[in-house]
Chain A
Amino acid sequence: MNTEAQGAAAPMLDQPADRGGRAQPMLIAQGLKRYFPIRGGLLNRRVAEVKAVDDVSFTVLKGETLGVVGESGCGKSTLARLLMHLLVMDAGSLIFDGDPVGTEQGLSLRDLRRNLQMVFQDSYSSLNPRLPIEESIAYSPRVHGMERGQAKRIARELLQRVGLRPEYFGGRYPHELSGGQKQRVNIARALALNPRMLILDEAVSALDKSVEAQVLNLLGELKREFNLTYMFISHDLHVVQYISDRVMVMYLGQVVEFGPVDTIYAQPRHPYTAALLECRLVVDPAGRIDTPPLVGDPPNPINPPSGCRFRTRCPHAETVCERTVPALGAWNGNTAAHLVACHMAHPGSGHSRAAPAPVVH
């Protein structure tokens, strides 16, 4: 009922069927890893590696918007590319709606991309400069076997849907459009296969504020209309708060906190999340920040600190933080909905601010 809500004579591809049912998460990622080698020396040997994504596991529920935040270099874009299989993962597995991805019995890459599409930050470089935009949008339905005329009709309908008049814009080339218009085209292109989930990697970050608001509203409408699930990657904490249901905070290739948006924004449990939230600027000169919540830049991911990676910038760091890597777990025996990787949140971790270990009866 909600798969073909896009109106009159839309000859779109059918949205892939919901196979796992409502309770099955749309996406389960387990132990994703990607290290980029750094080569050097005489024989071009592997001298070091950037641990861009280091053992990241999470789920995306059906119909939700999962916000992913973190500073540049925290691995959030690498993570998106791993999910799309634009980068090969070194380790880890992906389950899309109950089907393992890339295995014999599971979902092929081609099927995955019918289900999962992505919108990139740079709206210009993600469009082919030599194709009129309606051809760009019609391209993927064509690849998936649709007849030319019909693919073009879909493209024009989607252009209309994202707020660009097809008779006026359809034949234009990407360089003839403004940034906001190009990003609308990219969204239309991502929707051309009628996917079930979109990864939005800083999709509104390069836009002016008034245009950003228009595109955010459009994303909200499309989500309801096409029954979509979003993974929304951004460094803008205001926008993430507005759009997300749950939030994942990343630091140097690892997840440090994960939970419902309101809980995380009201009661951050990881000192990094707390500091990030304090860095939000408010539009009121009375709310000026006088002391920076964090000092220094994020450390070099080639040689991350031992133990907890945040400890070099953390005001509460102790020896236990240096020695042991904190696991991502529920804090103080709370529900599993709110996960945090910090010794202070785990009873019996040995940190002076942590609760004592629970007594086992």
Chain B
Amino acid sequence: MGAMAPRPLVEVRDLQVSFVSREATVSAVNGVSFTVMPGEVLCIIGESGSGKTVTMRSLLRLHPPRRTVIRGHMRVGDHDILALSERAMNQVRGAVISMVFQEPMTALDPVYTIGDQIAETVIRHEGGSRRAAMARALELLNLVKVPSPERRLRAYPHELSGGLRQRAMIALALSCRPSLLLADEPTTALDATVQIQVLIMLRRLQEEFGMGVIFVTHDLGVAAQIADKVAVMYAGRIIEYGSVADVLLRPAHPYTLGLLSSTVHGQTRDAEIEAIPGSPPDLRALPPGCSFAPRCRFAVPPCTAAFPPTALAGLDHAASCLQIEAVRGAVPAHADA
């Protein structure tokens, strides 16, 4: 079996990222390991400050170099990300790995037309004439279903609606057929009616291109819509990992369970929502042991002694928790029968 297993597209091992300033050192990511297979969609779920965006930006080395300490190992395709020269990294960005940001208005250049920006990327990585690059840009806008693409090619970002801008951003990210697409909350700023259109389109393009995708979101509904695998992050660590159905329907970590029960969907109106008490820990001074223990209703004394080891909760489903059995007992039975 082992010999037959294909090689993962992305391999991250024990990634640690900290930001150093005069006042404090913020440990944003504290030992994250995961893999993404070719053609697989991994959703990283977490709240603000959980390290999900920092993890993703590390793959493109987008952090300010002098103030960031990155340790660990990251491989994407044949590229050892931390060993690449700045020049080689520039070749990887856009061609092998590309990224879609949350706010397309700040990610797109306001003084160039959409067509110019896509063509520039194509010429930069693949060469060829400007005319050919523009033809490719048109083809891409068609692919992301921008209506009247010829006109939109000559439009500036501010002339487009939020949904169209995000589509243009995706076209730009796909322009050099990357093998890994990073998407940082790409639909959070969009209306629900537009969000679902973009999610369905992303899923279709991902299958068409056979890309691996790492999708960062705080919205469990979005993860359910698009993910194959889900990693839940808390205080800079992945605390649960598994298939989307396992994690969302049969959570094994108390934090995942808490997130699910505090997400409003169809609760009775008279009952209070089961919120997670307290707030996330200060990343400048993380407590020893499990970072979630102070807010956890399942916590036992050993939880605060050392960070709990990763335990299997099923086939290809793992959680860093000593109380998996207790959490499992508390998961409400799903009415999917």
Contact = CB atoms under 8 A, between A and B. Distances in A.
Contacts of B274: 213
Interface string A281-318: 11111111111111111100000000000000000000
Nearest to A299: B161
Interface stretch (B59-67, B107-115, B122-130, B216-224): B216-224
A229 B145 CA distance: 44
Interface stretch (B30-38, B77-85, B257-265, B314-322): B257-265
A81 B162 CA distance: 23
A63 interface: no
Given A238-B266, A289-B200, A297 B194 contact: yes
A142 interface: no
B164 A297 contact: yes
B99 interface: no
B131 interface: no
Nearest to A180: B279
Interface string A233-268: 001111101110000000000000000000000000
Nearest to B195: A279
B161 A281 contact: no
B90 interface: no
A288 B164 contact: no
Interface string B235-259: 0000000001100110000000011
B191 A283 contact: no
A279 B192 contact: yes
Interface string B195-209: 111001000000000
Interface string A135-179: 000000000000000000000000000000000000000000011
Interface residues of A, number: 45
B336 interface: yes
Interface string B301-328: 0000000000000000000000000000
A186 B29 CA distance: 32
Interface in A321-337: none
Interface in B263-308: 263-267, 269, 272-277, 279
B185 interface: no
B272 A281 contact: no
Contact of A284 (B163, B192, B269, B336): B336
A327 B264 CA distance: 33
B48 interface: yes
Most-contacted residue by chain B among A210, A243, A284, A298 (CB, 10 A): A210
B224 A287 contact: yes
B275 A217 contact: yes
Contact of B264 (A71, A216, A275): A216
Nearest to B249: A284
Nearest to A272: B193
Given A212-B262, A213-B275, A238-B265, A292 B196 contact: yes
Nearest to A218: B275
Contacts of B221: 280-283
A72 B162 contact: yes
A291 B197 CA distance: 8
B104 to A, nearest CB: 13
A178 to B, nearest CB: 6
A283 B263 contact: yes
B142 interface: no
Contacts of B164: 297
A210 B244 CA distance: 20
A285 B47 contact: no
A220 interface: yes
A209 B161 CA distance: 27
Contacts of B218: 208-209
Contacts of A355: none
A200 to B, nearest CB: 15
Interface in B37-58: 47-48
A235 B248 contact: no
A213 B276 contact: yes
Contacts of B162: 72, 297
A214 interface: yes
15 contacts: A71-B193, A212-B262, A213-B263, A216-B264, A217-B273, A238-B263, A238-B265, A279-B196, A280-B265, A281-B224, A282-B265, A285-B227, A292-B196, A294-B193, A297-B163
Interface of A: 71-72, 178-180, 208-214, 216-217, 220, 235-239, 241-243, 275-276, 279-298
Given A208-B47, A290-B200, A297-B191, 8 more contacts: A71-B191, A71-B194, A212-B262, A212-B264, A276-B193, A279-B193, A281-B221, A289-B200
**Interface pairs A-B: 8 shortest CB-CB:** A281-B221, A213-B262, A213-B275, A208-B47, A71-B191, A279-B192, A213-B273, A210-B276
